[in-house]
Structure formats: C-alpha cells, structure tokens
Structure 1
Amino acid sequence: MSITATLQPLILLIISSLILMTGHGLSGILLPVRLATDNISLPVSGFILSMYSFGFLLGATVAKRILKQIGQVRTFAMCGSLTATAILLMGLRDDMFIWALMRGLMGFCIACACVTLDSWFGSVSTEENRGRILGINQVVILSAITLGQFALLIAPPTESTLFVLCGILFSLSITPLVFVSHYEPSIEQTPHLPLRQLFALSPLGVVTGFLCGMLYSSMVNLLPLYASSEHITGLRLSLFMGAAMVGGIVLQFPIGYLSDRFERRKVILGCCLLLSLTTIALPVTVTTGQFGAMLICSAFTMGIIACLYPLSISETFDQAQKGQLLSVLSGLLGIYAAGAMIAPYTATVAMQHQGEVAVFGFMLAIELLLIGFTLYRMRVAPPIAVEAQETFVMHTPNMIYEELDPRTAYRETSPDFEHAMSKFEKLAAEHPNNAIAFVRAISAAHPDWAAMLAEKAAQFPDIDTVLLFRALTMLNSELAVDIASRLAQGTPEQAEALVDWLLDKEPENALTLLANIAFIAQEQQAKVVDALAQSSPEKIQAFSQEYVDSMTENLASLRAPDREEVNIEHCVTGLLDSVTAAAPEQMKQVAAIVDEGVGDWMTEQNESETKKE
C-alpha cells in the first residue's frame, strides 16, 4: 500500500476519532457533575453511570454483526447520530429513567464506533506499522478525552449548552469519514472463548481485568461526584480529572518497560501496592488543600489503574496460543466491562452510608483483593521465563483494538488485496489455471503477498498445487520454503502432489522443501523416506538432518504456548519408524542425527526457561 493511500485515510480517521472522543470526554465529566448539582441520590447516580458499561458490553458483542450487514460508513454514521441524540435528550429532560436509557445507548454506540474505527484502521495499516498506528490512536483518544473535560469551563453544567456542544461534536465526528474511501473490508466474527476456558488459561489475567474495570469505572464516574462534594469545581475540577487522564497515558510507558523485563506477576503486584498507597493519599491531599500533590496523586492513581488492563491482556496472552489471541482480547473486554458495570452502583451504595470519601475505601478493598490474589497465584503457579513473555502493548481501557494489536495474527484487508482475492475466487471456481496466472501477476506486483496468496489458494482443492508453487517461486525464489509450507496446509492430495513433484524434479533446495512439508504434513513423512530409499538412499541422512533443522527452527519461532501443542516425540518417532521400515541399515546414523539436533535444542530451551530476571 502506498504512503498516500495509507496517510490520507489515516489522518481522516484520526480526526474523526479525535472529535468523537472529545465529545465522549466532555460527556464523561458533565453527567456526574450534573447529577451531583441536581442532588440526585447516589445510588440512582451510580445506576445511571453504570448503564454506559452495560451498553458498551452489548455494543461490543453485536458490533461486527452490524458492520457486516450495513457496512462501516453507515454504522459509524448511525453511532454518531444516535450518540448525539442521546446526549441532547439528556440535556432536554431531567427524567432519570430517560437518562439511564440514553446513557446505555451512548455506551452501545461508542462500542460500535470503536469497532468500526478499529476495522477501518486495520484496513489502511500494514503488518509493520499497525502497532505504531495503535499507539498513536490511543494517545489521540486519551488526549481528546482530556481536552473534552476542559470544555466544562465553557458553561455551567446546569445549563443545556454543554449538552448541545457534546451533540455537535458527536455529529461532527461523522464528517471526516465521508471523505474516506467507501471501500468496505471483509469483517470476520471473533471466535468465542468460554469464560471457563479463559479463566483456565490465566486466572490472574481474568481477575485483574475484572477488578481493573471496577477501579477504572469508579475513578472515571465517581471521582467527579467526590470532587463536587469537596467543592472542587470549574478549572480545578478539569485539572483534577485532566491529570488523571494524563497519568493514564504517561505511566503506560514506564510500566510497559518494566513489564517486558521482569516477571509479569511481580509487576502487577508492584503496581497494586503502589496503587493502594496513592488511593489512600489522594483524599488526604484533597482535604488538606494541597492542590499540586492532589494532581500528582490523581495522575498516579488513574495511570496505574489504566495500566492494569493491558497488563491483564499480556498476562493472559502469555498462556494463550496464537489462534486464541483475538478471542482472549474479546473475552477480557467483556470481563472488564462487567466489572465496570458493577462498580459505580455498588460504590455509590457505600458512599450513601459512609460519605463520598467511601469511594476510596471501595477502591482500596478491590486493590487489596487483587494483591492477595496475585500473591496466591505466585505461590501456586510456576513463573514464566521473562524471555517467553509476550510484549506489553498499550491498551486504552474501555476501548476495542483487535485488528491493530501487533501480537495477534495479521490479516491483510487492504482494498487492493481484497479485490485481488475476490477476483481470484471467481477465477478459481471457473478457470483454475487462469486463477494461477492471475496470482502470478499479483505476486509480481506485490512480492510481500506471495505467501498469503499461497495460503488462500491452498483452500481451493481444484487448484493445481504444483503449478501454483512454480508460478509463485519463479518470481519469489527466496520465499520457496514459506510458500511450500503454506501449500502443505491445504488438502492431503495437494501436499502429496507437491511432494511427488519435488521428488521427481529434484530442484536445488528439494530436501529442504520436503523436510518442511513433512514436518507440517506428517502423513507425507513415510512417503518421502520410502521414495528416497528407492531412488537415492544416500540422501536419507541429509533429509533427516534437514527435517530436524526444520523442526527445531519451526519450534523456536513459535510462542511458548503454541510450542507446547506440538508433539515432538510423535514427530521424531515418525521419522525413525519411517527410516526403520525403508532403510534399516541407516537407522543408527539417523538416530544419531536426531539425538544431536533435538538434544541440543532441548538443552537450549531448558537453559532459557531456567533463567530468571
């Protein structure tokens, strides 16, 4: 994808995200302040504020279905208009039942808008830059929310002016996207991962995500109520909440750095211990009138809470297989939203009986619970080597980023690629050979697509695998091993046809290609060894060496949880059994090759796993 084709829609998407989240930031502080000003009872206020997370959870669940039915442009336009309608109705009516419904509608629309933007960002990003785009977008979002909170200075919250301003911002957020290409990338539904299975993967990750939702929702929704009770209003209130948002941005960098260099559970524990101290200190600085210290405590408290969500994702990713990562993201978002839904109402019940300062006691109890559970998990479960941990990636709480997280499997969704695959599918159904010629032409223009094209083409049983392999490797010979490996994942008949051709024609790197195919398609192992025993028995040992090298290289490239799913003993036994049946006189030499190659690799792995920070 050209730089212009990436930058133009990217800038427009960022502008739209900036406007939308500025309105979101203003509404986030306006509603609690208005509830406090109108002397609405604390439990009713907590219930209304909780409805946002309920709507958000519902929206995150159904957003992709809506996208598939009506597309991105209409989905985002619907979200912008409905969110504007909701906030305007709240400004016109003081009915708390209507406020609760409209607050839930806002959560629903913000979730759908986030999914839409995520898929849109994904369609204009590449595998190399999507991590940077994710980081830039999150900084933009948190900055916009911070900016929106300062809009509270424009007019008193008792008037309708700020509600109208929110409605204008939500409506304006649609405008930049009108100028984005109306290309609609294909939307894939994220596979569902049951809660029990997610908890089994990482109990600490799930509990951290849930409790983070409770803490974050308490800070965002109830801190303005507490501030109003302490007569913190106007600019001081905007600075107070703005400092919290700034902390949510800034602290992700040092905590992410520590998370990648120390055992993750220790980082979570350290964050919780520090968080409990700042939670105690924050109300003290408020009551003593130390405004500067109050801003620092607010920034540290919110900053650490905001870091717990990406820490919970990374902790769970450490235990999950590559194919489960999207499901983990989706599941943790739901768990986080459930915690965020429970907290405001629960905390306001305590605040009604103990005073507004009870919100900090509520938060401290949650933090102590997380400290205790972290210590328990550190005692009962062995640590993961730092080298085997997933990298920390900044994630804004209560936002949806599936397409952009660089740790998940990349799916090319650019307009050119989607158009090429659509044309290929039609040709593959009607004229398979013409489809291969088309793929060859596409790979000539886009060499980086060659392996992905091979993987997609392998899904069509009528495609001539040998002809496709030759067409792709003629122009991209350096990718021959990757292309052969992708094709071997097709039907057994396709893998067998490629093996037959390699054995017959014996291209320059035939043994390397055969070894990779035999590792991926284990049923081809005996066929290769038997054919070599009949035609070139002297090559059996060389093939065995290539097979062991391929196996160890493939295993080394896998994430630790994915590596555990590979049955190394089965792979080795299959090779030895094949050699025993076809060339027993070479069994001793092959066994020595296997023992040396696998033994050295296992030794390196054991040494790596025993390393501690």
Structure 2
Amino acid sequence: MSQSPSSVSRFSIASPLAGGALHAVGSGLFHTLLPLRLVQTGHNADAVGLVVMAEGAGFLVGCIASVKLVRSVGEVRAYAAFSASSAVLILALGANPSLAAIMAIQSVVGFANAGQAVIIESWLNAMVPNEGRGKTLTLYVLVLGLFYGLGQLLGREVDPGGQAMLMITAAFYALALVPVTAIWVGEPQLRAPVGIHVFRAFRTSPLGTLACLMTGLVSSTFSSIGPLYGLGLGFTQDRIVILMAAVQLGALFLQFPLGYLSDRLDRRAMMLWLAVVLAVVCAAFLLVDGQTPFWLLLVLFSVFGGIAEIFYPLGVAHANDRAKPSEFVVLSSNLLLIWALGGTFGPLVAAAGVERLGPSSFFWYAMALTLVFAAFAIWRRALEPKVAMRDEFVAYPQTSPVLYEWAHREDGEPAGDEPAGDEQAPSAEDGEKDK
C-alpha cells in the first residue's frame, strides 16, 4: 500500500528532485558534446541526425512501454535498472563502435530516460497533496532546466572525443540512483500507458497539436544538432557550449512571463505573433558569421530558445481550452508523444540540410516551419476569432505522460481514475469544437 500524500513530509520531494537534477546534469553534458564527439570520430552530420533520431525513437517507445516494466519489478528496481543501464551504455561508446551500434545504444538510453521520468513523476504524484501540485510542478521545471544548463556548462573544458566526457556522464547517471533509492513512498499505482491518437488530438485542437509538433521539429531539433551549427561557423567549443546553455536558459526563463501573458490574451493570436517573431529571429541568424559579437549571439540564442520552446506549453494549454476536464490527461499525454515524434524526425531532416547546404540551412528550415504555422494560425483565427479560455498556462517539461496525471488532479480525485486511451471515444460534438 502506498502512503498518502498527507503522510509524507514535504521535504521528501527533495529525493526524487535530487535524482532528476543529477540525471539532468549528465544529460546536459552528454547531449551538448555528443554531436562534437561524433564529428571528431569521423562521422558526418547525417550520422549525427541518425543517432539523435534513434534516441528520440527510444524515448517515444519508453513513454508508452516502460510502465509495464515498472509495474512488473517495482519502481525502485526499475529506476536502478534504467540508471545503471544508461551509465554502462554511455561508457560503451568509449570503444568507438559502429554507427549502427551507436544508434542501438542511444535508442536504449532514450527508452531508459523516459522510464526514469515516469518513475520520478509517479513518486511526485504520490508525495504531493493537491494544493501543492502547482508549486511542485514549477519547482520541477526549474530544477530540470537549471541543472541541465549546468551540465552543458561543465562541457566547456571537456574533450568531446575523450573518455572523460563519457565517464562524467556515466557518473552523474549512476549518482542519480543515490537519492532515489534512499526513499520509500510505497508503490504508487501507474495507469495503463496511453496510446498514440494523433487524429483525436488534432480534432480537438488543430493549432495546439501543430504547436507541439513544431516545438519538436524546431526547438528540440536545435537542442540536439545546434553544436553542428557552431562548428560550421568555426566557433570554439567553449563558445558552442555557452551558446547552447543560453538556448536552454532562455527556454527556461522566457516561458514564465510569456505564459503569464497567454492567460490574459487570446492564445491563438499570441502564438501567431510569436511565430512571426521567431521567423524574424531565424532571419537574423542567417546574417550571423564568425565575426558576429558574442553578446549579440547570446541574445539571439536566448531569444530563439525561449520563443521556440514556448509553443509546446502554449499548445497544451490551447488544446486543453477546448477539451473537457476528463480529457486533459489523455489529450496532454498524446501531445507529448506528438512533440516526441517531431523531436525524432526533425534532427534527421535538419542534419541532412546542414551536411549538404551548410549550417545556416537549419534556420531556413526553422523559418519555413514557423511561417507555415503562422499561416495556419491566421486561417484558424478566421474560422473562430474568439477563444474561450478554460485552462491556465503551465510550464510543462517534456518528460513523460505521467506528469499530466498528477498535474491535473482536481478536487481530491486522482487523474488516474479518468478513462485512458481507447476507453474514451471522441464524440461528434468534440470534433467540432475547434471549427
């Protein structure tokens, strides 16, 4: 039997948060330096795209399938297995395996990352009372973002092609076990994993669904292959690492004031104008070269990260504006999977462009996507100029579907009691909401 939230000290959430923070440090270091490592070991941009795609695919599968493994062995054992497997597999990259082997390794690491997020968030679900969920979610977002950025900055003096980068990453992945295995809150009940229902999400909110997909195609893609852009322009490793950290911190801190505005403005209009601003920022990047002042680069990277990332939580909030409360968990979980689809295939396309057309091709790609999104937003506004807001903006991290189960718990009723997946078929009326 699991303990009730009221019987768990509020300081107990420090343990899962510490585990998540340690894992985020290792992840920030690894994902920033991995593209540089692959280039140093003789791989081209196409190979980088394939490796990132493999990890994204593993993460997507993990969001859906890891729950069964957690249920079968328990959360502490599953977390230990995921963390240890990630650490060992990261160290295996030191043998300089073939591209196919690297892709296989990264797909398993992606699966494990999703499984660890499922467990951390299910523990927070068990620990946090209803009245503390909003503050806890904000704290969770800040902890993951700040420590991921810290991990990026650790890479300034680390040789991407050496063993130290892998050892430091593996060490943080293993250290993430310590605080997590030191707690016990019973075994919170995990719901059946949601299935992928892209068309259901699109029927509920076409623009919200497209916003989440675009975040994966643009923001998540740049987080994965951005170092290739810096290499193409001749930036030093130190500059690349700092600029990628600026993207992360811009994404972390800009979404709170922009989210505040979105609760007071028409979200559809706000996403339209943000898309226009993002297209202008992408156009400014086309003028960047090795002689551009570093302070200006910091501003551009920060603004790009902040605006590109905000479309995901805005898309979730906009979709929930059009959904019944009982649909929030399933809808939001599917929007996460749609984001993951964009983050899986976006790097493959963008990396191919960088390989054949040069580093600036990414921003042509991003500008084209944002302009298409803006045109779609104009069309949707023409069909429905006024939007009735129902859901407040929440700065959701892109971690696992479990997050939405506890973030939307209301009136003391667990979100897990809501119908999941195919158990709730959309009505004809639901499909007309956004028309």
Return the TM-score normalized by structure 1: 0.65
Distance 2:371 2:91 in 1: 40
Choose which of 116, 120, 137 in structure 2 pairs with 1:117.
120
Decide whether the 8 Å contact of 2:64 with 2:194 is kept in 1.
no
**Structure 1 CA distance for aligned equivalents of residues 83 and 215 of structure 2:** 28
Change (3 A) 1:177 1:60: same
In the alignment, what sits opposite 1:166? 169
Q: Distance in 1 between matches of 2:410 and 2:376?
A: 28
- Give the counterpart letter for 1:174 in structure 2: L
Aligned residue for 1:101?
104
1:315 CA displacement: 0.9
CA-CA distance at 1:409 after TM superposition: 7.3
1:280 aligns with 2:283: yes
Matches within 5 A, 1:99-498: 99-181=102-184, 183-190=186-193, 192=195, 194-385=197-388, 388-400=389-401, 401-406=403-408, 411=413
The answer as to whether partners of 2:71 and 2:190 remain within 8 angstroms in 1 is yes
In structure 2, distance between residues paired with 1:205 and 1:178: 38
Structure 1 counterpart of 2:72: 69
- Structure 2 CA distance for partners of 1:356 and 1:409, relative to 1, 3 Å: farther
Unaligned runs of 5+ in 1: 414-451, 453-560, 566-613
Q: What secondary structure is seen at the aligned counterpart in 2 of 1:80?
A: helix
**Among 74, 79, 85, which residue is 2:88 paired with?**
85
Aligned-pair distance for 1:277? 1.3
> What CA distance in whole angstroms lies between the structure 2 residues aligned with 1:398 and 1:191?
14
Q: In the alignment, what sits opposite 2:56?
A: 53
Taking structure 1 as reference, are residues 51 and 361 closer, same or farther at Cα in structure 2, changes over 3 Å only? same
CA distance in 1, matches of 2:69, 2:310: 31
User: Partners in 2 of 1:246 and 1:28 — Cα distance?
Assistant: 15
SS in 2 for 1:394: coil
Q: Could you tell me how far 1:218 is from its partner in structure 2?
A: 2.0
Q: CA deviation at 1:368?
A: 1.0
Q: Distance in 2 between matches of 1:286 and 1:128?
A: 50
**Contact residue 127 and residue 406 of structure 1 kept, 8 A:** no
- Listed one character per residue, the Cα deviations across residues 284-321 of structure 1 (whole Å, up to 9, x for unaligned) are 34443211010111011011111110011011101111
Contact kept? 1:131, 1:406, Cα under 8 Å: no
Paired residue secondary structure (2:405): coil
1:323, 1:193 → 2: CA distance?
18
Distance verdict in 2 for CA 1:156–1:298, change over 3 Å: same
Structure 2 counterpart of 1:467: none
Q: For residues 366 and 161 of structure 1, what CA distance do their matches in structure 2 show? A: 38
CA deviation after TM superposition for structure 1 residue 157, in Å = 0.9
Deviates more, 1:106-115 or 1:62-71: 62-71
Change (3 A) 1:223 1:283: farther
Matched residue count: 416
Q: Tell me, yes or no, if the aligned pair for 2:52 and 2:347 is still in contact at 8 Å.
A: yes
Equivalent-residue separation in structure 2 for 1:175 and 1:251 (angstroms) = 32
Residue 356 of structure 1: SS of its match in structure 2?
A: coil
- Give CA deviations for 1:79-115 in whole Å, capped at 9, x if unaligned: 1011112211112224211111111111111111111
- Aligned CA distance change for structure 1 residues 409 and 60 (closer, same or farther; 3 Å): farther
Give, in angstroms, the shift of residue 133 of structure 1.
Answer: 0.6
- Runs of 4+ with >6 A deviation: 1-4
Residue-by-residue CA offset, 1:104-161 (whole Å, 9 max, x unaligned): 1111111111111110001000110011111101100011110111121342111111
Range that drifts further, 264-273 or 228-237: 228-237
Separation (CA, whole Å) in 1 of partners of 2:286 and 2:100: 32
Cα deviation, 1:328-384, whole Å, max 9, x if unaligned, reads: 111111111111111111112222221122111111111111111111111123422
Cα separation, 2, equivalents of 1:410 and 1:397: 25
Partner of 2:420: none
Structure 2 residues without counterparts, runs of 5 or longer: 418-425, 431-435
Q: Relative contact order (alpha carbons < 8 A, sep ≥ 6): 1 or 2 greater?
A: 2
Cα-Cα RMSD: 2.2
> Residue 334 of structure 1 aligns to which amino acid in structure 2?
L
**Structure index of larger Rg:** 1
Partner of 1:185, secondary structure, is coil
Distance 1:29 1:155 in 2: 11
Cα deviation code 1:407-464 (max 9, x no counterpart): 7675459xxxxxxxxxxxxxxxxxxxxxxxxxxxxxxxxxxxxxx9xxxxxxxxxxxx
1:208 Cα shift? Answer: 1.2
The answer to whether the Cα contact below 8 Å between 2:138 and 2:395 also exists between their aligned partners in 1 is yes
Deviation at 1:193, TM superposition (A): 6.7
Structure 1 residue 37: deviation in Å? Answer: 2.4
Which amino acid in 1 is paired with 2:242? Answer: L
Between 90-99 and 304-313, the greater mean CA deviation after superposition: 90-99
For residues 535-581 of structure 1, give each alpha carbon's deviation from its aligned partner in whole angstroms, at most 9, with x where no partner exists: xxxxxxxxxxxxxxxxxxxxxxxxxx99x99xxxxxxxxxxxxxxxx
Aligned to 2:15: 12
CA positional deviation for 1:398: 4.7
> Would you say the 8 A contact 1:36–1:228 is kept in 2?
no
